[in-house]
Every structure is written in C-alpha cells, then in structure tokens.
A and B are shown apart, each in its own frame.
Chain A
Amino acid sequence: MSNKVIEVENLTRAFGQFKAVDNITFDVKRGEIFGFLGANGAGKTTAMKMLTGILEPTSGSGKVAGFDIKTQRNKLKYKIGYMSQKFSLYEDLTLKENIRFYGGIYGLRRKEIVERTEKMVERLGLGNIENTLIAEIPLGWKQKIAFSVATLHKPDIVFLDEPTSGVDPITRRQFWDLIYQAAEEGITVFVTTHYMDEAEYCDRISMMVRGKIEAMGTLDELLTKHDAKDMDEVFLKLAR
C-alpha cells in the first residue's frame, strides 16, 4: 500500500451553479495530522463529506485508505472514523451502551469491544462512569469520549469536523493530546477547524477559501511564503 492515505485530484462538488468545492487537489501521508482550515462556508464540510463517501463528487477523483471514493464506498467505510461537528453520542444511552453500539455497527466482536472499552476508560481516566448516561457526563469529557469512540474500530484515518468548536481552551488542549496519541498509533488525522491558532498543532495545513485550496504546506512554509507572523495573517491575506 502506498504511503498516501488520501489522494485527491481535481475534486469538485457543485450545488446548481454554486461550486462548494472547486477543483481541489491534495494528498495526505500516513500518520500525518492534516489541518483543513478555512472560514465557515469555505467548503470544508462538503469536501469532508465526499472523502467519507456520503456525498458524490460532481467531478474529479479521490482515494481514501486505498479505496475509490466513488466506487468503493462500502469498503472505504470500515477504514475511516468520523466525528461530526455536532455532538455524536446518544444522550439517553450509557457510556458502555454507546461504545457497544458503535462497536456493533462496525462489526467488532463482543470480546474486542470489552477489551477496547477497558483500555479507553483507563486512558481517559474515566473511572467508574461506564454505566452513567451520557447526558449526565460533563461536556469536556463527552468530546474526548466521542473521539475515542470514533477511533474504536482502529480506522486508518479519522475525520474530525470542527471537533473543538465551543470548547474551553483547556479541554481543547487536552483534546489535541488525544489526537497526538492517535497519530502516534498510526492513525492519520484529518481535522477541519476555523481556529487559525490550531494550525500550529498540525503537521501540514491546507487553507480553503471559497471552495478552492489557496495554500498548503507546513506552518513554517506558509508563514515564510506569505510573509506573515501567524496563521491569522495568512488567512487575511488569502481571503482578501
């Protein structure tokens, strides 16, 4: 298998006349933390939906985890994890039941689920809240749990759609620690955000403006190229 987990060429998605994603080309290496930056409405979510196989591209092609995003969606889905912008656990189920459910729909065996649950509870320091309803767990924890659940089936790549929006700075920092851990285990992380300062946590960044990728590279590369002192400045220069 190639070193590239995501390969995208000339990917476009139009809604009528409007091109939400306009001819983007990029790739992501295995184990990388790839930051997909852009303002709200720049087309990040649309691009991510195509990569996860729930939205058909209008034109262009792409491969994720070695599978074609147009023709091999069913195989592709076992290889990816996804955490949505909205909160993605069931409030009326307990932590354990949520884990069982998500493990179940990814076809994990009961033994595997039990093992991984134990590991996860230990890693997150959750103690004995296994049988607590998610509704009663504080938000900061829920976010971390949601991430762990999204990577429960050990995907090649995990897509995070604005995972830190509306979260306090401390929890955000802790959340990024989890992302690093996952990357160390070999899971590629594809994360969208509109917090420009989070760019410094990523190995590589792409900047989307009005459906197009206007810049791509490491943080240093982007800063030098655009002669800026931080990502905010880069963004302002590009968006103008």
Chain B
Amino acid sequence: MAGTTPSTVTSGRRRDRWSEALAGYAMISVPMLLFLVLQIFTVFYAVYISLWKWNVRSGPVDFKGLGNYQTAFGDPIFQRAVQNSIYYAVIWVPLTMAIGLFLAIIVNQKIRGQTFFRGAYYFPAIASSAAITILWIFIVSPDGLFNSLRAVLPFDPLGTIFGYGPHKNWIGDQDTALNSVIILNAWTTSGTFMLFYLASLQSISGQVYEAAAIDGANAWQTFTKITFPLLRPGHFFVATVAVIGALQLFDQAAIAGGPGGDPNNALMTVVLYLYNAAFSQFNFGYAAAVGVILFVFIFGVTLIQRRIFGSAPSW
C-alpha cells in the first residue's frame, strides 16, 4: 500500500543506511590516512625542511628562510638541470605519444598475433629500468650494436649528413647523451602509452567508422578527422601523465651518467640534482627546496595543461 510505512521499518532502514555509510568510511579510512600522511603531509614537511639547514640526524640546524631557494636559482648546474628536464619533456612527450598512438592503432586491428604484439610492445615497460638502461649503454657504446649496424649499411645518414664518426660514443658525448636517453625512454615507455590509447580507442563506437566508410572516407581521413579528435580524453590523460613523468626523469640519467650527470651535466636532471644534494653533499634542506621547486613547477604545468585540453569529455 502506498503512503506511510510503519515506523519500525523506517528506523530499521535508517540503521542499515547508517551501518553502510560507516562501513564505507571505515574502508576508505586506511587508504585515506596513508594518502594524507605519505603524500600530503610529506609535501608540507618538505616545505618545512627546505627553510632550514637540515642535519639528517639531529634535524634543523640554522634557519635559512628562502636562502636555499635563492641558492638553487643561482646555481648554474641547477639551471642546466631545469633546462635538460624541459628539453627532455618537450621532445620526449610528443615523440612517445606519437609512437604509442601508432602502436595502439596497429594492435587494435584484427590481425593474427594481436595479443602477442600487444605483449611484445609493452614488455620494455615492465622490464627493470636499470637492466634496460645498461643494455642500452652497450648498444650505443663506441663498439656497440648501433655503430656496428652503421658500419654495415651502404648509406649512413648520421655519418654523411651530421658528421658523426664511426665509433661515436652516443651516451658518453655531451652533445648526444640526452638524445640517447630520449630515444631509450621513447622505446620503453611507448608500450605504456599504447595501452592508454588502446583503452580510449576501444571506447569509440564502431558505428562512427561505419558512417565514415559510407561517406567515402579513406584511411587517412578517418584517422585525422575522426579517430584523432575522438581520442581527446586519451590525449589529455597521456599528455598529463607523460609530462609529469618526464620532468621527474632520474633512473636512466643516474645509471648512464652517474650521480654527477656526466658528461659535463649533459644528463643532469632536476631529480638527479636533488639526489646529489641529498646524498653526495648531505645538504637535506637544500634538496628539499629543490623538491618543492619541482613540485610547484609540475603542479603549474599540469594546471596549464588542464586549461589547454579542457576537462575531458565523458563519452
């Protein structure tokens, strides 16, 4: 019967809803607490540390205010680190997004061995970055695989057009080291971006393609006018994640160039600079200041990206 329900039933339902809500809050409480402590609190603590000359054993020693920040901005090595990180982001992000998109479109086709190719392209992303970097150093060393291939090919564009010698040490030379790392990371991370784009691609309805085929669109037109624009949620996500990751480059730079970013700061990135300040110079207040600068920078860039791409459409 419609209308009033007995009061016992109503209060029982209210109790159930309250228990459910409590269960919900209890379940998110642990991850939320971890998030607050490990992610949010550490940012504020880092800001606090950055205001001091900090001894890792005994804590704050001298109050420096913004002194650490001034030192950072005035240090030519830090400026080089920022320059390297920005150069890396500007070159690597579009390159890897393009490769990832290309791979995603390929493996989205109904071809034989589709699953194998997906796994193969993704494999470098799950392999140890240290192992892959060392492998790469061997490949691009003066007598490595790459130079051997160049010697065998009939036409060597790198030698004739750019003038690189036959035994060029690609990762040991200050002019080519960062580009070597860019190519290395474009190869290893393209698999991850391929997966992101694949998810976006598969959310595009097949009816759109059918309609395009009826209207007589060829493959290139289909791609540029239909697929690419419809992938805007994918672009936004991949670009944001890529830029955040690019500005935090550390692993490959540390393995290939050592903690000093050899040769001659060619591989010095902001995070490597921070690592140096903390563990080579034992200057933790300064390292915290560099970390806060990086945080603000990445935060700002992400906000700008959100502006440009707009909020992702939800189809």
| Binding partners A and B | no
On B, residues with C-beta under 8 Å from A are none
